[in-house]
Amino acid sequence: MVAADRANFLNKDGPIGSDWDPAGFSKLWRYNLHYFDDLNAAGAGERTAWHRALVGRWLAGNPPTMGTGWEPYPTSLRIVNWIKWHLREAMLDEEAMASLALQTRWLAGRIEWHILGNHLFANAKALLFAGLMFEGDEAATWRRTASAILRRELPEQCLPDGGHFELSPMYHLLFLEDALDIVNIVESAKRAGRADDVADIAGEIDARLPAMFEWARTMSHPDGEIAFFNDAAFDIAPTLGELTAYAGRLGRHVGGGQTGSRLLASSGYARLERGGATVIADVARAGPDYLPGHAHADTLGFELSRAGRRIIVNGGTSLYEPGAERLRQRGTAAHSTLVLDDENSSEIWSSFRVGRRAYPRDVTLDVGEIVRLAGEHDGYRHLAGRPVHKRIWSLAEDHLEIADRISSARSHRADIRFHLGSGLTAHAQEASLVEIRCGASGRTLAELSSLSEGAVRIEADTHHPRFGIIEPTEMIVISYDSASIPDHRTRIGWPAA
């Protein structure tokens, strides 16, 4: 909240507390309007008067079951936020407590089994919180329902390598926050002698926390923030550092420090480290076959950091609303990978739909003096000649070499795209050599060169590190004919540290 009657969600300012379904604002913005995240945000104690008034206006302006605010997902997040606020500040009056019980009763009959994934987990978390907040038979039923969902979903949604199964680093951090919140409230209830029927849930989460944190570290750049694979943006989930501190306050020691090169075999991501450089690469499926809603067509894409600076990135996510821009941001061309015949490697449609999709295979990681990752995918099998794209990353002390092979009975146009990080610029030096510089200082950070024939060009680009944000940047594109050059090599080198 930026004023008693205004808030900024998704980097868009708007009025709150009067019109609870305002026209001209996206569905996600209106969802945020009903979450009440600010009750528990940094500095919330300074806005207590605003919060109490806002809760009162919500009760007056949102009759039961009417409008966006009563959809199951925002209802779930609001239930948790109201309970956290009340447990900390004892702020909910009799009317608000009665509404909280009614909201939970409404949610219990509208669990999002049709959506599953993070929505279902959020539903269960809200039922657990309310079941521990209230007493009586109905509260016990909410706890039993929550417990049954969590026992089912924890092994489904938390992969053996610790990753969240929707394969978005952003949603993984949200999932990790949910897990810590559940441990927190269950442990608190146990101390009050009130959680006997759900006490084992905290133990099941505890067993998974080390792997969940290791996954988050693997998928974070040296700057401490997430890599952009699938739907991912800054400022939606807590940072890894914030979650690590939260775990520490709960007495959970989840490790830390350098991650090193490793393959997340269950998830399909890999991290390569050498010479102060970090590569995070996607050799993963689009997501669960029954739930690829947050997937992008980014197979065999990658991001590169060196000396704490992001050099090569993926495009990010700035919106969820349906339309051409949402499709573009999810498409293969918005990622640092290879595009064949201007097609997407997975068939992206609508806002959260995927049709035909790429399946990676033959993924290997060798860690030696040179760290080498290899994998291929069949996402272009619908094209003439049923092409297969294979990519090999070889990371040495002073460079990264990328080998792209197209195996096909027919010729195809290939475009290898390298999207530059925020604040970087590209400068052609020769026909096949481009310098990547810091736009502010002019210092050369890296040089990208085509080691095979192919036209190298620089194009204007946009980067979307946050919802509602468009940052102008540039990308380097190498184009060639796959019949003439079935094997293409690109080298990205950098000066000694």
Tallying the residues shown for the chain, one arrives at 497
Which residue type sits at 11? N
CA–CA distance, 86 with 93 (Å, rounded to integer)? 9
Q: How many helices (H) and strands (E) does the chain have?
A: 11, 21
Helix H or strand E segment including 445:
strand 444-450
Residues in contact with 43: Cβ distance below 8 Å, sequence separation at least 6, in sequence order:
none
- At 313 the pLDDT is 98
Which residue type sits at 172? H
242 close to 216: Cβ distance less than 8 angstroms: no
Q: For residue 432, how many other CB atoms are within 10 A of its CB?
A: 18
Phi/psi for 427 (5° steps) reads -135, 115
* Alpha-carbon separation of residue 317 from 230, 389, 463 (angstroms): 8, 25, 8
Q: What angle do CA 31, 33, 35 make, to 5 degrees?
A: 70
Question: What beta strand segments (E) does 307-420 contain?
Answer: 309-313, 338-340, 348-349, 353-354, 360-366, 371-377, 388-395, 399-407, 413-420
Q: For residue 26, how many other CB atoms are within 10 A of its CB?
A: 16
SS3 465: coil
391 close to 404: Cβ distance less than 8 angstroms: yes
Regions of the chain with pLDDT less than 50:
none
Domains, the chain, in order of start with CATH, read 6-249 (1.50.10.100), 264-493 (2.70.98.70)
Plot region of 487 (φ>0 → left; ψ -120 to 50 → alpha; else → beta) = beta
- At 256 the pLDDT is 79
- At 395 the pLDDT is 98
CA–CA distance, 327 with 298 (Å, rounded to integer)? 13
Helix H or strand E segment including 243:
helix 240-249
Instruction: Determine the distance from the C-alpha atom of residue 103 to the mean position of all C-alpha atoms in its chain, rounded to a whole number.
Output: 28
Residues in contact with 203: Cβ distance below 8 Å, sequence separation at least 6, in sequence order:
none
Residues in contact with 71: Cβ distance below 8 Å, sequence separation at least 6, in sequence order:
31
- At 497 the pLDDT is 64
Half-sphere exposure of 385 (CA within 13 A, CB side): 15
* Alpha-carbon separation of residue 463 from 1, 300, 420 (angstroms): 27, 19, 8
Q: For residue 87, how many other CB atoms are within 10 A of its CB?
A: 15
Helix H or strand E segment including 272:
strand 269-274
